[in-house]
Amino acid sequence: MPNMTADDETTIENFPPTPAIVLGWVAAAGDRAWFPAVYAQQENVPRESLDEPITALRHAGLIRVQDWVKGLGQGYGITPDGAKLVHEPQKLAKLLAEPRPSREPVAAEPPTTFDRGEEARQALFAPRPPLVVQVLIVLNVLWFLVGLALAVHEGRSGNAYLANGDPHLLHRLGAVFGLDIVRWEWWRLLSSAFVHIGALHLFMNMYALASVGSLTESIWGRRRFLLLYVAAAIGGSCLATGIKPEPLLAGASGAIWGLMASLVAWLLLHRQHLPPQVVNQSLQRLGILFVINIAVSFVPGVSWAGHFGGGIIGFVVACLFVVSKRFGLVARWVALTLTVLLTAGCVVGLTVYANRSERWAPLRLSEYHRQQVEYVRSLDVALQPIARPEVEKLYRQVMEAVRVDPTRRPDLPGEVTKLRDNAQSFADFVAGQPLPKALVTDLPEYYQNYAAAVRDLADAMAEVLRQPDGNVTVLKERKKVVDEQWAVVNVLAKLGM
C-alpha cells in the first residue's frame, strides 16, 4: 500500500478510486514515480479502475507522465499544481467539476506530440483484447474444415487433404495461380489468403497471426488493422503470382509478414515516445522472427515473393498511417485512400505485366485456346438441331414424298418450317455470342453461311412440297451448298479454329 498522509486516509472500501484519492497516492510517492500497475497488483484491484481518475488528473494538469520501467509499467508524478491541491479536496473537486473543452470539435486538429506518445504507450503497454484477429482465425479454420468436408464428401482422401491439401480442391476454395489472373478472377488474390495447404500450414500461420496480430490490432485499431491485413495479403499475392505464375498460391503468410513489417515501422517511428530498452528488445525479437521467416521463405514450395511482397506493403502502409496522424483527420483519410490505391495499383501492375511479359505468354495462349474451344463447343451444341445428319434425313423424306405423293406425309411441311426456324435461331445465337480474344479466323461467318444455306434449303423444300411439279433441280443445288458449307464448318471446328 503506498504511504498516505494523515489527511488522506483511504481504505480499500474507497473503490472505485476517486481522482482525489489517486492524487494523494501520487503525491505520497514524492520524487519517485507512482506505478498504477504495481498498486493494482498489490491491492488486488482491477487495473482498469485507475484509468478514469488518472486521465482526469492528467487532463487537469495535476499529474504528469514519467518513465516507463520494465516490470513496473508506466509511471506518473505530481505536478506543482497538483501538489497545491493535495490537501485542498474542495478546490480539487471544483476544478475537476468545471466543464472542460470537449475534445470532439477539435478531433480534426493534429494531435500533440504528447497525445501521440500517450496513444503509443497505451497501445503497447495496455493493449485491448483483439477482435479482428480472432475473427480471422475462426474464418481460416472454418474454411479449412469446409475443404476437408468437401474432400470427404467427394470421395477424396481426408488424410491427404490434412497433410498436403488437394490442388483441384484448393483451387475451388480460392487458391490462385497465373491462369486465374488471365481469366480476370482478381478476387483470388485475397481469397487465397484464407486457403491453406494442409493442417500444419494452417497451424503455423494461425499461431503466427495470434502471436503478432494481437499487438498489431491494438496499435492500429480494428479498421486500419483489417485494411492493412487485406492490403498485405493482396500485395503478397500479386508479387508471388507475378514472379511465378505457374504454382498454386495459398496461405496467409503474406498478410502476416505485412503485420510484422508494420510493427517494425511503428516501433521505429514511435521510438521517441517509448522506453529505449522496450524498443530495442522488441526490434530484436522481430529481427529474430524475420531471420527465421526469411530462411523458411527459401524452402522449396514456399513463396518468398509472397512473404516479401506482403512485408513491403505492410511497411509502406504502416508509415502512411503513422505519418498521417501528425496532420489531423483529413490526412488520415488521405492515408486510407492511398492504401486502397496502393492495393489497387498492385493489381493493375500485375495485370499489365501479365498481358505484356514473355514469362506469361504460355498462360495467355493457354487461356486463349480454352476460350476458343469453349466457343466452338457452345456453337456445336446450338448447331445440333440443324446439323447435317438432321438436314440429310429431312431432305431424303422430302425427296421421297415428292416422288411418291406429298399428301401421304402431312407432317413434312411442319418439319421443314421447324428446320428453317432452327436455322434462324442458330444464326441469331452466333451473332450474339462474344468472340474469344484469340479467334483469328472467320469462324462465326462460316457458321452464319451454313445457317443461311440451311434456311435456303428449307425454303426450297417447302416450295417443292407445295408444288410437287416444281423445280427439284433448285432443291438439289441448295442441298449441295449445304453440304459444302457443312464441310467447311466441320473441318474448322475439329481444328479448334
- Domain assignment present for residue 296? The answer is yes
Q: Residue 107: its pLDDT value, please?
A: 44
Beta-sheet pairing, 73-78 with 63-69: antiparallel
Q: Which three cell numbers stand for residue 357?
A: 511479359
Number of domains in the chain: 3
CA 386 – CA 426 distance, rounded (Å): 8
Report pLDDT for 108.
46
Q: Say yes or no: 327 and 214 in one domain.
A: yes
Q: Is 352 exposed, middle or buried (0-12, 13-18, 19+ CB in 10 A)?
A: exposed
Task: Kindly state whether residues 371 and 487 are assigned to the same domain.
Answer: yes
Asked if pLDDT for residue 361 goes beyond 90, the answer is no
- What is the model's pLDDT at position 106? 41
Claim to verify: residue 169 and residue 233 sit in the same structural domain: yes
For residue 402, what pLDDT is reported?
80
**Domain co-membership, 350 together with 367:** no
Greatest distance between any 2 Cα atoms in the chain: 132
Which residues have a Cβ under 8 Å from the Cβ of 326 and sit 6 or more positions away?
110, 111, 116
Contact indicator for 252, 205 with CB cutoff of 8 Å: yes
pLDDT at 109: 54
Residue 31: CATH number of its domain? 1.10.10.10
Does the structure show a pLDDT above 70 at 274? yes
Neighbours of 25 (CB within 10 A): 23
Whole-number Å distance between alpha carbons of 370 and 391? 30
Q: What nine digits make up the cell of 84? A: 497545491
Please tell me whether residues 85 and 148 are part of one structural domain: no
Within this chain, do residues 258 and 170 fall inside the same structural domain, yes or no? yes
402 in any annotated domain: yes
Residue 241 in any domain: the answer is yes
Q: CATH code at 173? A: 1.20.1540.10
Mean of the per-residue pLDDT values for the chain?
83
In angstroms, how far is CA 12 from the centroid of its own chain? 51
pLDDT confidence of residue 7? 40
Average pLDDT over residues 321-346: 88
Residue 411 domain-assigned (yes or no): yes
pLDDT(125) > 50:
yes
Residue that is last in its domain, among 79, 100, 121: 100
Question: Mapping DSSP to helix (H, G, I), strand (E, B) and coil, where does residue 62 land?
Answer: coil
Q: How many CA within 13 A on the CB side of residue 363?
A: 23
Q: Are residues 262 and 296 in the same domain?
A: yes
Least confident of 59-68, 294-303, 344-353, 439-448: 439-448
pTM, entire model? 0.67
Write the pLDDT tens digit of every residue in 413-470: 899 999 999 999 988 888 887 766 655 556 788 888 888 999 999 998 888 888 766 6
Residue 33 included in any domain: yes
pLDDT beyond 50 at 187? yes
Burial of 410 (0-12, 13-18, 19+ CB in 10 A): exposed
| Average of per-residue pLDDT across 218-243 | 94
Answer yes or no: do 248 and 196 share one domain: yes
The parent domain of residue 230 ranges over 132-356
Condensed to tens digits (0 to 9), the pLDDT of residues 34-65 reads 888 888 888 777 777 887 888 788 878 888 87
Percentage, residues of the chain above pLDDT 90 = 32
Question: What CATH code is carried by the domain that includes residue 487?
Answer: 1.20.120
The SS3 call for residue 225 is helix
Positive/negative CA dihedral, 447, 450, 456, 457? negative
- Cell numbers of 294, please? 526469411
Q: What distance in Å separates the CA atoms of residue 406 and residue 391, rounded to the nearest whole number?
A: 18
Averaged over 65-77, what is the pLDDT? 75
Rounded CA separation 489/495 (Å): 10
Position 10 confidence tier, pLDDT thresholds 50, 70, 90: very low
Query: Are 345 and 379 in the same domain?
Result: no
**Is there a domain that residue 151 lies in?**
yes
DSSP count for the chain of H helices, then E strands? 22, 2
Residue 108 lies in a domain: no
Peptide bond into 444 cis (omega under 30): no
DSSP string of 394-422, one letter each residue: HHHHHHHHHHS-GGG-TTHHHHHHHHHHH
Are 179 and 204 in the same domain? yes
CB atoms within 10 A of CB 404: 11
Q: Would you state the pLDDT for residue 250?
A: 94
Residues 209 and 352 both lie in one domain? yes
Tell me, yes or no, whether 270 and 348 share the same domain: yes
